[in-house]
């Protein structure tokens, strides 16, 4: 392993800030950064040799690649974490505007919804991973929630409940069970989990996360966040009776006075089911 890659990996192991998912994501980003710094011509770097020129070169490289604003911000966050751990926080500006990185777009202009590719899903060998993906699609769950899912705790009569330790931001929540397909899926999960979760008994969360990622790469599946978009759009249709703006439904300015209340209620409900604290976030999935 290259020197800088090894040193940053060790830095992550020695400083376990945040939850397992946060740690794993940070470690992957810093490993990518170490490799890219070498590709950009910065040889023999050590963890303590990070300088503003390295940050500027990385940001310019990422912008040339057309990486999204959200991804850029996540990578800068990892860089700031690295700088702080080696007592160099001042080498990275606190304001992303300094690097020409604007604000995220919080109103969807086009749908990012996706359905599960059944052919690719059938090629995934780990049944735990297959069921995690199906849970993401059926209930709009995040990846971590679907991996840590324990049916013994989660399944209730007419809803599933998610522990705070499974969720982003530690916000426990419930999601309704709306149809027989969801109930059948939950029975399949229960049969496989055998009183546990969708993490096999011999593995921990990080190990199963790596297995999940590897299996998806092997069959060409990625960026399954689109499953949450599909869930949100389907729920909006169910709750209001019309399509969301991002898939051709009426925009907020086109709604009649009678439609405004159902629209607001549906957006609040969907945001809550997806685990967001603010109803306004629904615009990311539904448009406005």
User: Tokens for 279?
Assistant: 């109803």
Q: What is the mean pLDDT of residues 263-272?
A: 96
pLDDT digits (tens, 9 = 90+) for 3-47: 899 999 999 999 998 888 889 999 999 999 999 998 888 888 999
Q: Which residue has the higher pLDDT, 69 or 128?
A: 128
The alpha carbons of the chain give a radius of gyration, in whole angstroms, of 21
The residue assigned the tokens 């490799």 is 35
Q: What is the mean pLDDT of residues 81-107?
A: 86
* pLDDT at 228 exceeding the cut of 80: yes
pLDDT of residue 171: 87
Q: Is 125 helix (H, G, I), strand (E, B) or coil?
A: coil
pLDDT of residue 2: 63
Q: What is the mean pLDDT of residues 63-72?
A: 82
Lowest-pLDDT range of 78-92, 174-188, 206-220, 254-268: 206-220
pLDDT of residue 65: 79
Question: Does the reported pTM lie above 0.85?
Answer: no
What is the full DSSP assignment across 147-187? Answer: HH--HHHHB-SSEEEE-TTTSGGG--EEEE--SHHHHHHHH
pLDDT of residue 104: 66
pLDDT of residue 60: 85
Considering the domain 125-219 in this protein, what is its CATH number? 1.10.443.10
Lowest-pLDDT range of 32-46, 100-114, 135-149: 100-114
Rounded to whole angstroms, the Cα distance separating 11 from 28 reads 12
Q: What ranges make up the beta strands (E) of 150-288? A: 159-162, 173-176
pLDDT grade for 1, boundaries at 50, 70 and 90: very low
pLDDT of residue 113: 95
pLDDT digits (tens, 9 = 90+) for 162-177: 999 999 878 899 999 9
pLDDT of residue 44: 87
Q: What is the mean pLDDT of the chain?
A: 92
- Provide the phi-psi class of 195: left if phi over 0, else alpha when psi is between -120 and 50, else beta: left
Q: What is the mean pLDDT of residues 267-287?
A: 92
* pLDDT at 114 exceeding the cut of 50: yes
């Amino acid at each position: 392993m290259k020197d800088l890659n090894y040193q940053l990996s060790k830095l992550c192991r020695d400083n376990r800030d945040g939850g397992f998912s946060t740690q794993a994501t940070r470690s992957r980003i810093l490993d990518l950064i170490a490799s890219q710094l070498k590709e950009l011509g910065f040889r023999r770097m050590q963890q303590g040799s990070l300088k503003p020129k390295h940050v500027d070169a990385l940001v310019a490289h990422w912008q040339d690649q057309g990486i999204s604003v959200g991804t850029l911000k996540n990578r800068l966050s990892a860089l700031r974490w690295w700088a702080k751990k080696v007592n160099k926080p001042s080498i990275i500006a606190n304001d992303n505007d300094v690097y020409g990185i604007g604000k995220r777009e919080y109103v969807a202009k086009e749908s990012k919804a996706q359905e599960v590719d059944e052919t690719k899903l059938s090629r995934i060998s780990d049944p735990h991973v297959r069921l995690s993906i199906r849970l993401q699609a059926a209930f709009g769950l995040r990846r971590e929630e679907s991996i840590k899912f324990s049916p013994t705790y989660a399944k209730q009569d007419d809803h599933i409940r998610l522990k705070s330790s499974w969720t982003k931001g530690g916000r426990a929540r419930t999601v309704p069970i709306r149809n027989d397909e969801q109930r059948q899926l939950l029975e399949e999960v229960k049969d496989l989990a055998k009183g546990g979760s969708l993490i096999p008994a011999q593995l921990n969360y990080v190990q199963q996360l790596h297995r999940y990622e590897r299996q998806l790469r092997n069959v060409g599946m990625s960026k399954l966040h689109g499953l949450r978009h599909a869930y949100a759009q389907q729920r909006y249709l169910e709750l209001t009776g019309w399509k969301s703006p991002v898939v051709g439904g009426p925009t907020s300015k086109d709604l009649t006075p009678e439609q405004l209340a159902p629209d607001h209620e549906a957006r609040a409900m969907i945001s809550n089911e997806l685990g967001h604290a603010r109803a306004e976030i629904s615009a990311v999935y539904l448009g406005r």
